[in-house]
Structure 1
């Protein structure tokens, strides 16, 4: 099953490499990646992910991504209930289906 993560990431040296490395080490394959620059020195990275096996948990990945240096927010489009309720949040906007997967670190 594929799922998507949207990560708000500060434009800092090595931030994108740390993100990609963590995703790969946690057993997810990046099927597609889109990075767009936003204002204030931050980028939005959208990852389409596929788990390598059924033992991989998206809520664990979302929490670990949120702990990375330079990550400002983690949002998910995963519609099934595998995201732990304690980290799932309300939708960003009524027309936008992204929801915050982890509370902001900063």
Structure 2
């Protein structure tokens, strides 16, 4: 299961195009939270599950190409964020 956040222009048919694209790409929408539009932009948070071996990266790129999509973001899962290095920290790899 993955979380995805999308900023969508509030235009006629934009939400339907977005949701149908997610489903056509092989993902099940488990939950959806849509906030009221501010300045013509709606924030959407969705929890999606792939059918089979679907790539979240591919879906993210495809959604970002839709005309009314302003931004697509996949928050880092909490179990990964707890192990992430703070910004500006040197990596553990040694220069070659």
The TM-score bracket by the shorter chain reads: 0.7 to 0.9
5+ residue gaps, structure 1? 82-90, 92-106
Largest Rg, 1 or 2: 2
Q: Which has the higher strand share?
A: 1
Please tell me the root mean square deviation across aligned C-alpha atoms, in Å: 1.9
- SS of the residue corresponding to residue 35 of structure 2 reads strand
Show the 5 A alignment for 1:81-96: none
5+ residue gaps, structure 2? 81-86, 88-96
Show the 5 A alignment for 1:39-58: 39-53=38-52, 55-58=53-56
Q: Is the 8 A contact 1:3 1:78 kept in 2?
A: no
- SS of the residue corresponding to residue 9 of structure 1 reads strand
Q: Is the 8 A contact 1:6 1:46 kept in 2?
A: yes
Aligned pair count reads: 80
Where relative contact order (Cα < 8 A, 6+ residues apart) is larger, the structure is 2
Moved over 6 A (4+): none
